[in-house]
Amino acid sequence: MRLPSRSYKTREGRAGWPLRRFRGIDVFHTPARELLKQLEGMGLTVLDETLYAFVPRLSMGFTRVAGHDVPLDTDGEPLYFQAVLTGPHDYYDYKLA
């Protein structure tokens, strides 16, 4: 699966990183907890491990780990996901065992 990209304007109106969407959801600018709720609302299995989250069978892995200053959520962790790994369809299925 490949996420489409295009340039966009940030909330402040400046040019920003390429926009990454999954089924219409802005993956890097939707708060992490909200993104996971939306994925669950699509009927997907979401395994949430605070800093990391996984969607088996879809094979998406998310991380909130950041090596720089970023906005924080109420749990003290980064508000947004910082990276997404996509892999073969069964990449994270071992986590379901």
Would you state the pLDDT for residue 21?
83
Task: Assess whether pLDDT exceeds 50 at residue 3.
Answer: no
Give the domain extent around 70: 5-96
Round to whole Å and give the CA distance between 36 and 50. 11
Q: For 18-68, how does the pLDDT look when each residue is reduced to its tens digit (9 = 90+)?
A: 558 888 889 989 999 999 999 999 999 999 998 899 999 888 899 999 888
Structure pTM? 0.75
Residue 32 phi/psi, 5-degree rounding, is -50, -50
Which among 31, 25, 63, 30 has a CA at the least distance from the CA of 44?
Answer: 25
Q: For 6-20, how does the pLDDT look when each residue is reduced to its tens digit (9 = 90+)?
A: 444 444 444 555 558
Task: Assess whether pLDDT exceeds 60 at residue 77.
Answer: yes
SS3 content of the chain, % helix, strand, coil (to 5): 15, 30, 60
Would you state the pLDDT for residue 11?
46
Contact 46, 38 (CB under 8 A): no
Domain total of the chain: 1
